[in-house]
Amino acid sequence: MKKTVLKTLLLALAVILLYGTYLAVRAHSNLVTLNVHNADVREVVRKIEWQTWESIFVNQGVEGKITLNVHKVPLEEVLNIIQEQASCRWSAYYPLYTSGKSLVSFKKSLRGDVNPSEVGWTNLVARSFGGFGRGGPGGPGGWGGGNNPPNDNGLITMQIANKDLEVATTALTRYAEAKIVPEDGTDGKVMLALKDSTFSRAMDLLSKQVHRKWTKYYALQSWRGNRRGGDVADNGTNDFNRFELTDEQRAAMEKRFQEQLETMSPEERAKAEERRQRMEAMRNMSPEDRQKMFQQMAQSPEFKARMESRMMNGILNSTPDQRVERAQRAAARQARRGQ
């Protein structure tokens, strides 16, 4: 009898260990398997957190119902679907922090519970988490990624010799869809010699040199940030995506651009200069000419393929009511921009 009980206990323990190993492997791979219909965005995020063991914060300005039917899909792709359905945007954040207390303030800032500039995270503020603005030492708010990694494999190879923290973080975020956010007061010179390094390894080296700890979070942010519907932008309208740069902001952008060039290879530098010239040309166009250029771009096979893929994802992972609601929100945004 005792042997039978012992065997049963050992078998149960083995099953638990195997299941735990399976969960750990799945979480490490950041793959999501989920089938939900018209569920609240926060409920969906909690399910994803359980599967991936990642912390995903939902800002108080984000609302919406989510429909998903995915099987072993990378987390970032799932977040792309969610941001489409909830009319929000996701980012990966890498805070450089001093203590557990300051990290709690960072989390509250991501959720929109507190004003980041009042709790030591001015660099998260700027314009809607990632625009212009400075927070003392540490540089502009939340340096954003958004560029394709210089290497297809995502590994980092670069040399940074005695550069400011801002230069180092700007260079690193070219390799990831990420925002490195230093706590207020973070400063220092950085030296990095990276050869096929992971982003995590680069963050380890960077954080040690500026005497900070680091971690990684995901967050869903409203396009309006924490702003209310009646708020007015700097340009006197309710369109916070359209604003005029001051001379100081233009000078800061030029300085950052030149610092980025210093960290690039000749090939990357040439591509960056070409992108900049295109952006300058677009900025100087009349609205009519800019519209014509976008129409021409929309005719390219690559653009059409991306749009078709996006449309199919939208159809497969949404209900008819959700699609109607999204179309209405898009029309409302367009109407506001025309005011």
Mean pLDDT in consecutive groups of 10 residues from the start of the chain, 339 residues: 63 56 52 95 97 96 93 94 92 96 96 93 64 38 41 76 87 84 93 92 96 97 58 44 61 77 79 85 82 79 75 68 68 64
- Which stretch of DSSP H or E encloses residue 201? helix 199-209
Give the pLDDT score at 127. 35
| Whether 199 contacts 149, CB under 8 Å | no
Give the pLDDT score at 298. 77
Considering the domain boundaries, does residue 262 fall inside one?
yes
Give the pLDDT score at 140. 37
pTM above 0.85, yes or no: no
| Whether 95 contacts 143, CB under 8 Å | no
Give the pLDDT score at 142. 38
Question: Tell me, what amino acid is at 91?
Answer: S
Rounded to whole angstroms, how far apart are CA atoms 204 and 199?
9
Give the pLDDT score at 30. 86
Considering the domain boundaries, does residue 119 fall inside one?
yes
Rounded to whole angstroms, how far apart are CA atoms 323 and 333?
15
Beta bridge partners of 160: 192
Looking at the structure of the chain, the number of domains it has is 1
User: Would you give the DSSP letter of residue 141?
Assistant: S
Considering the domain boundaries, does residue 22 fall inside one?
no
Give the pLDDT score at 323. 66
Range of the domain at 169: 87-226+237-283
Considering the domain boundaries, does residue 66 fall inside one?
no
Give the pLDDT score at 149. 52
Considering the domain boundaries, does residue 15 fall inside one?
no
Considering the domain boundaries, does residue 82 fall inside one?
no
| Whether 217 contacts 110, CB under 8 Å | yes
Residue in this structure with the two tokens 């869903």, named with its chain if needed: 220
Give the pLDDT score at 44. 97
Can you say whether the dihedral through the CA atoms of 24, 29, 34, 39 is positive or negative? positive
- Which stretch of DSSP H or E encloses residue 213? strand 213-214
First to last CA, the chain: 81
Considering the domain boundaries, does residue 202 fall inside one?
yes
Considering the domain boundaries, does residue 153 fall inside one?
yes
